[in-house]
Amino acid sequence: MIAVEPADAVLAIDIGNTRIGLGVWDGDGLHDTRRVAVSRPDDWKPAIEQAWGTIAQRKPAIVIGSVNPPGTVRMQELAEAVSGVSVLRVRDDLPLPMPLDLDNPSEVGVDRVCCAAAAYDRVGGACSVASFGTAITIDCVSPDGHFLGGAILPGFELCCDALHTRTAQLPRVSPRAPNTTFGKNTHDAILNGVVYGMLGALREIVERFATDLREWPHLVITGGNAPLIADLADFVDAVVPDLCLIGIALAHRKAAGQT
């Protein structure tokens, strides 16, 4: 780890398997967020330039949190070329933003820990955080702020793709809120199975967290399909877009002694 200087503003970059998120964190919280597709690398540099332009005249920092090693290398090169500053990476240059209670701490994704740390910073107590992206992760944080681990499931699109590509006749279905409890055609039956199945998995896993903790962990959800789940689940306590970007910025603030 390296010595980290305090910053007036942090450009946080979240590199996933499908999308890259960018956002600026400062005294006003997270703002100027944007998304680019991993599959469209020509869009990366303009997104960095736009985000950097909002903080270049201040005392800035750029921090990457990533679960995509090839994307990390390219994004770091672009960000350093655009900004002229050294880019920091969570885990490689900055400590993870919360302690881990895991068998193999090196295996856990930076995104999971950053989301969990941001949720805990918001709640201030036991919490669970579910991120609905390419994969769905459902994790738990202890009352004293330790990452306890959780569960990983295939995301909505992965489930729909698998049903279509691994069968002879099932159609490709795009996730959306079901219209009916009873799937009276193949399309609606698949939609019900995927959406209600994910909803049931979320409830079951968080209830098991609650049983072991002996209290209900405040449930925070994030990710592209979080609003779909929140509309169907009365047990979700908060929907926080861009939770991982908030956690990436939090990692820098902690390392710089700004929290």
pLDDT confidence bin for 1, thresholds 50/70/90: low
User: What's the CA gap between 142 and 121, in Å, rounded?
Assistant: 12
What average pLDDT does the structure give for the chain? Answer: 93
What single DSSP character describes residue 163?
A: H
Residues pairing with 77 in the sheet: none
Residue 231 Cα distances to 101, 183, 235, 254, angstroms: 32, 19, 10, 34
Write down the architecture of domain 105-243 according to CATH.
2-Layer Sandwich (3.30)
pLDDT tens digits for 30-66? Answer: 999 999 999 999 999 999 999 999 998 889 999 999 9
Question: When comparing pLDDT for 10 and 57, which is higher?
Answer: 10
Would you identify the CATH topology of the domain 9-94?
Answer: Nucleotidyltransferase; domain 5 (3.30.420)
Describe the strand order of the beta sheet including 238-239 as a list of residue ranges.
147-154, 135-141, 127-132, 218-222, 238-239
92 assigned to active site: no
Q: Which of 92, 93, 111, 139 is catalytic?
A: 111
Q: Output the pTM of the full model.
A: 0.92
Tokens of residue 249, six digits = 């910025």
pLDDT of amino acid 171:
92
Question: Where are the chain's structural domains?
Answer: 9-94, 105-243
Residue 85 has pLDDT above 80, yes or no: yes
User: What's the CA gap between 118 and 14, in Å, rounded?
Assistant: 14
Enumerate residues 6+ apart whose C-beta is below 8 A from 125. 143, 218
pLDDT tens digits for 175-206? Answer: 888 988 998 999 999 999 999 999 999 999 99
User: What's the CA gap between 33 and 16, in Å, rounded?
Assistant: 15
Tokens of residue 122, six digits = 């918001």
Same fold, 9-94 and 105-243: yes
